[in-house]
A and B are shown apart, each in its own frame.
Chain A
Amino acid sequence: MKYFLMLVAFGTINLVYTQECTSTFFGRVIDFHNGTPITNAVVYIKTLNTYGTTDNTGKFSFKNLCDGTITIAVSHLACETKHLELDIKGNTFYEVNLEHHIEELSEVKIDGIGKSKSTQTAQETVLKTDAIERFSAFSLGDALKQISGVSTINTGNAIVKPVINGLHSSRIVIITNGVRLQDQEWGIEHAPNIDLNSAGSVNVIKGANALAYGGDAIGGVIILKPQAVRLKDSLYGKTIVSGQTNGRGYSLNSSLTKTYKTGWFVDAQASMKRFGDFMSPNYSLTNTGLNSKGFSINSGFKTFEQGFNVYYSFLNNEIAILRSSHIGNIEDLVNAINSKNPQVIEAFSYDINSPNQDVKHQIIKANFFKRFKKFGKLDLQYDFQNNHRFEYDIHRDDNNNKPAIDLTLKTHSLKTNLKIDSKNHQVVYEFGLNAVYQTNFPNPNTKVKRLIPDYDRFDFGAFATSNFKLNTQTIIDFGIRYDFNTIDAKKFYETSRWIERGYDIDFENFVMEDRGTQLLTNPVFDFHNVSASAGIAYKMTDNNSFIANYGLSNRAPNPSELFSDGLHHSAARIELGNLRMKQETSNRFSGTYQYQANLFSLNIEAFYNHINNYIFIEPTGVEHTIRGAFPVWSYNQTNAALYGIDLSANYNLSKQWLITNKSSFIKGRDLNKKQALIDMPSFKTVTVLDYTNEKWLHFKSNITSELVLRQNDFPNNNFDVFIPTSQEMVEVDISSTPPTYNLLHFQSEIALNLTTKTKLTVGFNVTNILNTSYRENLNRLRYFADDLGRNFMLQLKLNY
């Protein structure tokens, strides 16, 4: 093609008649990054319909041009085409800088699907747009479960938190549109405030190897990227509507994007979800509805050399929590465990009653970048997040409208990144600084003791990473990061608790005021954390490649691990934090083997994560209140090891049939006590049989078998308690895990091209086809009710 163009070009040049035009337009085409000449670039003068190409010094010239304005387009294989308007006045020289980085290109040119990985030597998986759209009606955690090694920890079906290789909550960093999500992520009942529909792609990096995003991601990093913007004059959008039988609800998501060739863009998106009570196979799960609303606006200007971006997003989730999970004391818990069915089963309703949550999350972001010739790229970003969380409990009086929890968490962060990529594309350095200020305000009007105290937190981080391409087969990565965290809290302690914990001896200096039965204290803690990462990717042959890496990371204890102090209703236990908490330190080693051939591909990821001072909660005694006896669970630290293997394999049986398997196996050990760690995901294997037939309106379908084995490794936290009603001692079995389950799902879709620019995709899905009753070990409500029963879902997607 290139030679053909050249031929045409020279031909055309010869054909151009010269009147009195004698000017020469000449110049050079060079690489933007390192200034090396680009050979065989095509220079096209649009206004004259004339072509030329550069020689091996990057030079080109056009003779016998008339003076005046011309428009040129300069293009080269694997480069972004550059359009310029120039004035020709006599002999004119111009130097054209072309961008020569393919991975950067994808950022500019992407057609709706994000392909680019954020790392080269880490265990990273990318979920593309179509894999996300299928979960439009669900949560981030549900979508990420598609990845081998990612599971979820749930409170019911609407509060879903992703778990990466057995770790979750504060051990996972979630980045959305470049902003690190700060939404009280420490709580098990706090699902990430993310509208999955606002993402164009999701990258999941296992372990803490992506140091640019934080040094405390012991579990991993989840990066949600918005739909990439095309630099051309265009208006496009999509609408996804889905309705489902279980929960008798719908979900609606719509987005519209306007782009201009000059680089300006605006992108708006809105979504709604409304569900009523969900059904298990045998009964209604009373009070499990959901009402979610969100929108986001993203606008800015972007060219290769510079750009800025302003972003705002709003998300409001109202989530009902299973009525039967709210219990008063340990006897109620014993009754719930022994009863086959939940204690409260009422007729279907859309109402969201207590207990429930109502969380509003807002993000404002402004970002600016500029590339410097023969140097690199500088990024500057400020963001602000406001997270407002209400939780409603069942009250003794009828005052259920008064929240039991009313927390406002505000976070400001400022960061800057510098990427130096001028050294012949072989070496890339990246440096960054960030500063975060966070303040938490628990509203005292609840008249309920604060779960999380008032605090101010300040973080400062600095990192440097480097990436070397040793040869065509080998890439190596190094990174180091330092983080300083300080937390300054104001908390009331019951005097009796302060003494019982021994804080009166160790932390006497924290006491500000004695208010009789309560003490006002001012705990202040500083943490210094160093993280490091090293990795190598080696492509042995076209089919075989290896990745090995090491990550050192440190995580400071979160406010809940430090300050928790009180009764946790759905667990019927008193939870106590510990002011003596140290940061946890993880050393993670991992290796990946990939085999890729025409019909068969295989990806095996293995890891060993050794965590010193691993923070966890365990039973430490029993305390009596007027409600009866409660077990006390305290945050403690131990040394832990987590290790496992994640496997995914594809085999093309024919052009139309594909079989896929994804399996993950993980073990977690408490090395001090020589016993299993609590809440480790079970062995899971998912097998999918796909059938595709392009001739039948692009028909795609699959049947999925999801097998989850019983978790046989768990610590025994059972305890004995006296039940006054029956006048006997009873062992409370909170440890035993639910049995093995196997679910079948079906998925299908067809696509219709309505016009050249409009495409309609119709999907029909069935989950839990056999209406199997099951309980999942990592669902906090497993003591109270079965998981979801069969669901039929119809999804319409319109791209325009």
Chain B
Amino acid sequence: MKTLKSIYILPLLTLFFVACSNDDDAPEIINEEEVITTLTATLVPVSGPTLTLTTRDLDGDGPNEPVVTVSGNFAANTTYNGSLNLLNETVSPPESITNEIEEEGDEHQFFFQATNNIATFTYTDSDANDKPIGLNFRLTTGNAGNGTITIILRHEPNKSATGVEEGNIANAGGETDISVTFNVTVQ
């Protein structure tokens, strides 16, 4: 029975050993690299004030809602030259994602939509295959009214599908990386 007892002491010893091996090093903080926190659309008319549409969600998948701002009202029947800027503001200094999208242009496309016929859109840039990306675009407003503008970024869309080149998202497929809606007024 003596050997038996010593055998039973073994696990208890290990218990002690294990309990002591607990190290207290703090894990490394992770600031996500792939996150897009901020999208800014800068819209420059031929004459008149420049407008910006911004969405910013600093906590990523966290519970806080994105903060959506529209700097002013659009002028009716006016053409605006638009450009998009994307940032990851969880890192300091903020990292620009715009260049990355441009470099991988064949795998990305922005889609623009408006309600109540307040605006129409055309692409003014292209990827390596002469298909649009949408980082640069032209927005033409219609008559005065209220409505929404939606900007969607799809990753790996099928750019050859019917209508996709013209900006119709219906057949685009792919995964959504950004989907944001702005309430705007045209006057």
CB within 8 Å of B: which residues of A?
326-329, 331-332, 335, 343-344, 378, 380, 394-398, 412, 414-416, 418, 433-435, 437, 442, 444, 446-450, 453-454, 456, 458, 460, 488, 490-492, 494-497, 500, 512-513, 515, 517-518, 520, 566-567, 574, 623-628, 630, 724-725, 727
B60 touches A625 (CB 8 A): yes
Q: Which residues of B contact A488 (CB under 8 A)?
A: 22
Whole-angstrom CA separation of A495 from B64 in the bound complex: 10
A329 touches B29 (CB 8 A): no
**Nearest CB to that of A438 among chain B residues?**
B18
Whole-angstrom CA separation of A397 from B177 in the bound complex: 12
Q: A378-B7, A497-B59, A724-B150 are in contact. Are A492 and B175 (CB under 8 A)?
A: no
Q: Which residues of B contact A630 (CB under 8 A)?
A: 61
Q: A414-B10, A416-B8, A496-B63 are in contact. Are A626 and B36 (CB under 8 A)?
A: yes
Top 8 nearest A-B pairs (CB, nearest first) are A328-B175, A328-B176, A628-B179, A500-B63, A724-B150, A437-B18, A494-B62, A444-B28
B130 within 8 A of A: no
Known: A416-B10, A520-B29. 16 other contacts (CB 8 A): A328-B175, A343-B173, A397-B34, A416-B7, A447-B32, A448-B33, A458-B18, A458-B19, A488-B22, A492-B27, A497-B59, A566-B61, A624-B66, A626-B180, A724-B179, A725-B170
Q: Which residues of B contact A626 (CB under 8 A)?
A: 36-39, 55, 57, 66, 178-180
Whole-angstrom CA separation of A454 from B170 in the bound complex: 43
Per-position 1/0 for B105-131, Cβ under 8 A of A: 001100101010000000000000000
9 contacts between A and B (CB under 8 A): A446-B30, A447-B31, A520-B26, A623-B61, A624-B66, A626-B36, A626-B57, A628-B176, A724-B113
B177 touches A328 (CB 8 A): yes
A492 touches B30 (CB 8 A): yes
B104 within 8 A of A: yes
Q: Which residues of A contact B46 (CB under 8 A)?
A: none
A496 touches B179 (CB 8 A): no
Q: Which residues of A contact B14 (CB under 8 A)?
A: 412, 414, 435
Query: Which of A380, A447, A515, A724 contacts B7, CB < 8 Å?
Result: A380
Q: Which residues of B contact A725 (CB under 8 A)?
A: 111, 113, 150, 152, 169-170
How far in angstroms is the closest Cβ of chain A from B70? Answer: 16
How far in angstroms is the closest Cβ of chain B from A160? Answer: 26
B141 within 8 A of A: no
B65 within 8 A of A: yes
How far in angstroms is the closest Cβ of chain B from A780? Answer: 17
Whole-angstrom CA separation of A103 from B66 in the bound complex: 67
How far in angstroms is the closest Cβ of chain A from B60? Answer: 7
Whole-angstrom CA separation of A623 from B66 in the bound complex: 10
How far in angstroms is the closest Cβ of chain A from B95? Answer: 12
Per-position 1/0 for B1-19, Cβ under 8 A of A: 0001001101100110011
Whole-angstrom CA separation of A496 from B65 in the bound complex: 10
**Nearest CB to that of B18 among chain A residues?**
A437
A449 touches B26 (CB 8 A): no
How far in angstroms is the closest Cβ of chain A from B153? Answer: 9
Number of interface residues of B (CB under 8 A): 62
B179 touches A331 (CB 8 A): yes
**Nearest CB to that of A623 among chain B residues?**
B63
B136 within 8 A of A: no
A378 touches B18 (CB 8 A): no
CB within 8 Å of A: which residues of B?
4, 7-8, 10-11, 14-15, 18-19, 21-22, 26-34, 36-39, 55, 57-66, 90, 97, 100-101, 104, 107-108, 111, 113, 115, 148, 150, 152, 154-156, 169-170, 173-181
How far in angstroms is the closest Cβ of chain A from B98? Answer: 12
B18 touches A396 (CB 8 A): no
**Nearest CB to that of A499 among chain B residues?**
B63
Q: A328-B176, A328-B177 are in contact. Are A414 and B11 (CB under 8 A)?
A: yes
Whole-angstrom CA separation of A394 from B26 in the bound complex: 30
Q: A329-B176, A380-B7, A494-B59 are in contact. Are A448 and B30 (CB under 8 A)?
A: yes
B62 touches A496 (CB 8 A): yes
Whole-angstrom CA separation of A697 from B15 in the bound complex: 58
Whole-angstrom CA separation of A357 from B32 in the bound complex: 21
Q: Which residues of B contact A520 (CB under 8 A)?
A: 26-27, 29
Q: Which residues of B contact A328 (CB under 8 A)?
A: 154-155, 174-177
Whole-angstrom CA separation of A447 from B111 in the bound complex: 29
B26 touches A512 (CB 8 A): yes
Q: Which residues of B contact A490 (CB under 8 A)?
A: 26-27
Q: Which residues of A contact B37 (CB under 8 A)?
A: 626
Q: A343-B173, A444-B27, A517-B90 are in contact. Are A724 and B61 (CB under 8 A)?
A: no
**Nearest CB to that of B60 among chain A residues?**
A625
Query: Which of B55, B57, B100, B175 contacts A397, CB < 8 Å?
Result: B100
Whole-angstrom CA separation of A433 from B10 in the bound complex: 11
A380 touches B10 (CB 8 A): yes
A454 touches B11 (CB 8 A): no
**Nearest CB to that of A520 among chain B residues?**
B26
Q: A331-B176, A626-B66 are in contact. Are A492 and B100 (CB under 8 A)?
A: no
B11 touches A433 (CB 8 A): yes
Q: Which residues of A contact B104 (CB under 8 A)?
A: 396-398
Whole-angstrom CA separation of A518 from B22 in the bound complex: 24
A416 touches B36 (CB 8 A): no
B11 touches A416 (CB 8 A): yes
**Nearest CB to that of B91 among chain A residues?**
A447
B61 touches A492 (CB 8 A): no
Q: Which residues of B contact A329 (CB under 8 A)?
A: 175-176, 179
Whole-angstrom CA separation of A247 from B19 in the bound complex: 48
B10 touches A396 (CB 8 A): no
Whole-angstrom CA separation of A449 from B180 in the bound complex: 23
How far in angstroms is the closest Cβ of chain B from A435? Answer: 5
A456 touches B22 (CB 8 A): yes
A444 touches B152 (CB 8 A): no
Q: Which residues of A contact B55 (CB under 8 A)?
A: 626
Query: Which of B4, B62, B108, B148 contacts A378, CB < 8 Å?
Result: B4
Q: Which residues of A contact B90 (CB under 8 A)?
A: 517
A513 touches B34 (CB 8 A): no
Q: A380-B10, A517-B59, A628-B179 are in contact. Are A435 and B156 (CB under 8 A)?
A: no
**Nearest CB to that of A629 among chain B residues?**
B179
A326 touches B175 (CB 8 A): yes
A394 touches B59 (CB 8 A): no
Q: Which residues of A contact B178 (CB under 8 A)?
A: 626-627
Whole-angstrom CA separation of A626 from B179 in the bound complex: 6
Whole-angstrom CA separation of A456 from B25 in the bound complex: 12
**Nearest CB to that of A632 among chain B residues?**
B63
**Nearest CB to that of A566 among chain B residues?**
B61
A435 touches B27 (CB 8 A): no
Whole-angstrom CA separation of A416 from B8 in the bound complex: 8
How far in angstroms is the closest Cβ of chain B from A11? Answer: 47
Whole-angstrom CA separation of A793 from B151 in the bound complex: 50
Whole-angstrom CA separation of A635 from B61 in the bound complex: 17
Q: Which residues of B contact A623 (CB under 8 A)?
A: 61, 63, 65
Whole-angstrom CA separation of A249 from B9 in the bound complex: 51
Q: Which residues of A contact B26 (CB under 8 A)?
A: 490, 512-513, 520
How far in angstroms is the closest Cβ of chain B from A396? Answer: 6
B18 touches A435 (CB 8 A): yes
Q: Which residues of A contact B28 (CB under 8 A)?
A: 444
A627 touches B10 (CB 8 A): no
B62 touches A627 (CB 8 A): no
**Nearest CB to that of B61 among chain A residues?**
A567
Whole-angstrom CA separation of A630 from B62 in the bound complex: 11
A396 touches B177 (CB 8 A): yes
A724 touches B152 (CB 8 A): yes
Whole-angstrom CA separation of A496 from B113 in the bound complex: 32
Whole-angstrom CA separation of A329 from B61 in the bound complex: 12
Q: Which residues of A contact B4 (CB under 8 A)?
A: 378, 418
Query: Which of B30, B66, B175 contacts A327, CB < 8 Å?
Result: B175
Whole-angstrom CA separation of A398 from B107 in the bound complex: 9
Whole-angstrom CA separation of A332 from B175 in the bound complex: 6
